[in-house]
């Protein structure tokens, strides 16, 4: 097997974009705005968010829910799809099905872990090319599960891999990603060294770049021309998330509630959530996280052992021993302590 070994001396961690960025930002921002913002959020969630029915139906042999205080933590599986549809496939603006057999795989896959005390959270990304056992289909890349049988099989595959019980599901497509960036007026990213995306014909010169939604999508989509290919692309996606969370939204929306309300509309229109996640539960989560600060949001990735090929496919192999430690920390609601012991796995401020 070839590739970069995974150990705690390795300086990089690799992550993907967060489809629930809006929810987390709202949890942070609503602490500083009138109670009317929460009522508005409840109204827009009820009116705009699309529900995906039955995603947990028929799932057998699921991991047990943790006992004790850890049982109050929340694990949300966030899926970003790679279907190139001319119209939105998620949210209230959807004019095409969110899942068509064989039409798309999961392009972004992560577990959003919200601690039981609601004061910290972690985004834990799973590389889309991770070689895993897909229940009923055998060994495949993990992103194939969504193509084979949609959200339910994706949940089953992630639970089998991690032994983490998934509480809820959120899905977003590329249209939603662009809209989120445009809703905050764009973002600024830093490119440390000039790189060229040979597939899309784009050269990113070293220095700062101000990006709108379409440009941000180009930025997070590049893998050709980057030293570690798709894993560097994952890091870019994570940096965009952190920029939105800590810079554009956190600063500007506290100054302008109208911007917050507009953003709530945008988020709710582009999210599809499992039908078991009621609006009251979502609003209760927001209220419970009013003491949450973005500084307590950790960005992590599943430990990777290296890269190789299976047949004609390029794949990523998970580092089983290290991954068990991370997933065990999620189950025990001890991610903060785990991250403190593995600082080099946290996403750096500047990436390739």
pLDDT by 10s per residue, the chain, length 352: 434 333 333 332 222 233 355 555 555 555 555 566 777 778 877 888 888 999 999 998 999 999 999 999 999 998 887 644 444 444 445 444 545 554 555 677 889 999 999 999 998 889 999 999 999 999 999 999 998 999 999 999 999 999 999 999 988 766 777 888 888 788 899 999 999 999 989 999 999 999 999 999 899 888 889 888 778 887 888 888 888 777 655 555 666 767 767 777 777 777 789 999 988 888 888 788 878 877 888 888 899 999 999 999 999 999 999 999 999 999 999 999 999 999 998 878 788 8
pLDDT number for residue 216: 92
Tokens found for residue 48: 């705009």
Residue owning tokens 């600063």: 251
Looking at residue 296, what DSSP letter applies? G
Task: Determine the pLDDT at residue 27.
Answer: 57
Q: What is the pLDDT of residue 257?
A: 67
Distance, in Å, from the CA atom of 233 to the CA atom of 194, rounded to the nearest integer, reads 15
The answer to whether the beta carbons of residues 63 and 165 sit under 8 Å apart is yes
Give dist(CA 252, CA 314) in Å, integer. Answer: 42
The pLDDT of residue 347 is: 77
What pLDDT is stored for residue 92 in this prediction? 44
**Residue where the block lists tokens 């005390």:** 117
Burial 183-193 (b: 16+ CB within 10 A, else e): bbeebebebee
| DSSP conformational letter for 128 | T
**pLDDT for position 87:** 43
- Those residues whose C-beta lies under 8 Å from the C-beta of residue 43, and which sit 6 or more positions away, are none
pLDDT of residue 313: 93
pLDDT of residue 334: 98
Residue 101: per-residue pLDDT = 53
Domains of the chain (ranges plus CATH)?
21-183+232-338 (3.30.420.590)
pLDDT for 171: 85
Q: Whole-angstrom Cα distance, residue 314 to residue 292?
A: 39
Q: What is the pLDDT of residue 89?
A: 42
Q: Are 167 and 75 in contact (CB under 8 A)?
A: yes
Measured CA to CA, the distance from residue 255 to residue 234 in angstroms comes to 31
Q: Within 13 A of 133's CA, how many CA atoms are on the CB side? A: 6
72 CB-side CA count, 13 A: 10
- Give the pLDDT score at 140: 96
The C-alpha atoms of residue 21 and residue 297 are separated, in whole angstroms, by: 11
Rounded CA separation 309/149 (Å): 24
């Amino acid at each position: 097997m070839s590739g970069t070994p995974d150990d705690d001396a390795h300086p990089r961690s690799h992550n993907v974009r967060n489809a629930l960025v809006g929810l987390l930002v709202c949890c942070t921002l609503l602490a500083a705005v009138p109670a009317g913002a929460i009522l508005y959020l409840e109204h827009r969630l009820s009116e705009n968010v699309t529900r995906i029915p039955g995603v947990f139906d028929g799932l057998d042999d699921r991991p047990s829910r943790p006992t004790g205080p850890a049982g109050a933590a929340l694990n949300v599986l966030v899926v970003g799809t790679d279907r190139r549809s001319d119209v939105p496939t998620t949210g209230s603006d959807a004019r095409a099905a969110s899942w068509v057999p064989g039409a798309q795989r999961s392009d972004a896959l992560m577990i959003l872990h919200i601690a039981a005390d609601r004061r910290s959270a972690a985004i834990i990304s799973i590389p889309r090319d991770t070689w895993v056992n897909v229940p009923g289909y055998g060994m495949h890349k993990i992103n194939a599960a969504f193509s084979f049988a949609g959200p339910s099989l994706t949940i089953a595959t992630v639970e089998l891999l991690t032994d983490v019980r998934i509480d809820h599901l959120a899905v977003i497509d590329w249209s939603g990603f662009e809209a989120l960036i445009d809703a905050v007026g764009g973002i600024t990213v830093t490119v440390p060294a000039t790189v060229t995306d040979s597939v899309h014909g784009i050269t990113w010169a070293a220095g700062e770049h101000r990006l709108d939604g379409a440009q941000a999508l180009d930025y997070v989509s590049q893998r050709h021309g980057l030293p570690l290919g798709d894993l560097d692309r994952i890091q870019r996606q994570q940096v965009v998330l952190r920029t939105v969370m800590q810079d554009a939204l956190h600063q500007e929306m506290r100054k302008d509630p109208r911007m917050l309300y507009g953003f709530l509309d945008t988020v709710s229109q582009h999210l599809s959530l499992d039908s078991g996640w009621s609006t009251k539960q979502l609003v209760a989560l927001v209220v419970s996280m009013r003491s949450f600060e973005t500084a307590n949001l950790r960005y992590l990735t599943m430990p990777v052992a290296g890269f190789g090929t299976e047949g004609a496919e390029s794949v990523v192999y998970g580092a089983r021993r290290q991954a068990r430690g991370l997933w065990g920390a999620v189950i025990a609601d001890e991610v903060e302590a785990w991250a403190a012991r593995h600082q080099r796995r946290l996403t750096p401020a500047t990436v390739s």
